[in-house]
Amino acid sequence: MTQPHTPREAWIIGASQGMGRALAEGLSRQGWKLWLSARSRGTLEPVAERTGGTALALDATEAESLREAAETVFANSQPELVIMNVGDYQPMPAVEFDAGLFERLNRSNYLSCVYLLDALIPHLRGRGGQILLNVSAAAFRGLPLGAPYSAPKAATLNMAEALRPELSAVGISLRVINPGFVRSRLTDKNPFNMPLLLEPEVAARRIIDQIDSSGFEIAFPRRLIWTLKLLRCLPYRLYFWIVDRWVLRR
C-alpha cells in the first residue's frame, strides 16, 4: 500500500508582495504547505487564498509579534523552511542625512532578522530546519544613496556568517539570499537605471531551485554578483575612484 504523501511545510515572512509573494506562488505550485506573514491582511489574504496557505499577520520589527507567531506556527505544524523576506528601502543623498531613516531601515532590515532568529532557534534546535534570510548584494559594499539600507544588510550578512557554524552543529541551516535588483515597490523608488533588473518570478525560481542545496549563499544574477564581489576586493583608493567615475558622475 502506498503511504499518503506528506507535503513539505514552509513559513514565509514578507509574503504578500514582491519576491515573497512570488516565492509563495512558486512553492505552492510544487505542493508545499505554507504559512504566510506580512503586516497588511488586505494584501496577504488574497495570496493565502491563491496558494492555499495560512495567513498570519505580524510586524517583524516587534520581537513579541514574531515570538507569538512562531508559537502559533510550531504548535500547528512542522515547517522545515523559514524564509525571511521582510525589508524596506529608501534612497538617501548624503547631504539629506536622516537618522530617523537609519533607525527605520535598521529595524526592518536587521533587527527583524535578529528577532526572527530569537523566536525560531528554540523551536528548531535539535529538530532541525533551514532559515533563509533575504539579504542583498547591497551588503557587499557601501554605495552612494544606499547607506541606510546597505549598512543593516551588511550587519545581517555578517551576523549570519558568524552564527552559521554553531547553528549547523544543532541541526539548523542558516543561509542567505543575495539578489541584485528585483522589480518591486522598493526598486520603484530608485532614481537610476538598475543593471540586470529581474522580475520577482524569475528571482523566486532561482531561489526555489536552490532550496535543497547546502551552500551558505544564493546569489544572482551572476554577472552583477561577481562584479560587486570583485569591487569588494579592491583597495579603497581604487574603489572610490571607480565610484566617483562610474556612479557619481553618471
Ligand X SMILES: NC(=O)c1ccc[n+]([C@@H]2O[C@H](COP(=O)([O-])OP(=O)(O)OC[C@H]3O[C@@H](n4cnc5c(N)ncnc54)[C@H](OP(=O)(O)O)[C@@H]3O)[C@@H](O)[C@H]2O)c1
Residues that bind ligand X (CB under 6 A): 14-20, 38-40, 43, 58-61, 85-88, 108-109, 134, 136, 179, 181-182, 184-187
Q: Min. distance of Cβ 101 from ligand X in angstroms?
A: 14
Q: Min. distance of Cβ 62 from ligand X in angstroms?
A: 8
Q: Min. distance of Cβ 55 from ligand X in angstroms?
A: 11
CA distances from 110 to 95, 97, 197, 216 (A): 24, 19, 24, 18
Please answer whether residues 55 and 44 qualify as being in contact, where contact means their C-beta atoms are separated by less than 8 angstroms.
yes
How far apart CA 135 and CA 87 sit, in angstroms, is 9
Helix/strand/coil percent split, the chain, to 5: 50, 15, 35
Q: Which is nearer to ligand X, 134 or 173 (CB)?
A: 134
Environment class of residue 143 by beta-carbon count within 10 Å: exposed (0-12), middle (13-18) or buried (19+)?
A: middle
Q: Which is nearer to ligand X, 128 or 215 (CB)?
A: 215
Q: Min. distance of Cβ 188 from ligand X in angstroms?
A: 9
Q: Which is nearer to ligand X, 127 or 222 (CB)?
A: 222
Q: Which is nearer to ligand X, 125 or 229 (CB)?
A: 229
Q: Which is nearer to ligand X, 127 or 232 (CB)?
A: 232
Please answer whether residues 57 and 39 qualify as being in contact, where contact means their C-beta atoms are separated by less than 8 angstroms.
yes
Please answer whether residues 156 and 113 qualify as being in contact, where contact means their C-beta atoms are separated by less than 8 angstroms.
yes
Q: Min. distance of Cβ 222 from ligand X in angstroms?
A: 15
Give 117's strand partners.
none
Q: Min. distance of Cβ 94 from ligand X in angstroms?
A: 21
Q: Beta 33-37 vs 172-179: how paired, if at all?
A: unpaired
Q: Which is nearer to ligand X, 86 or 211 (CB)?
A: 86
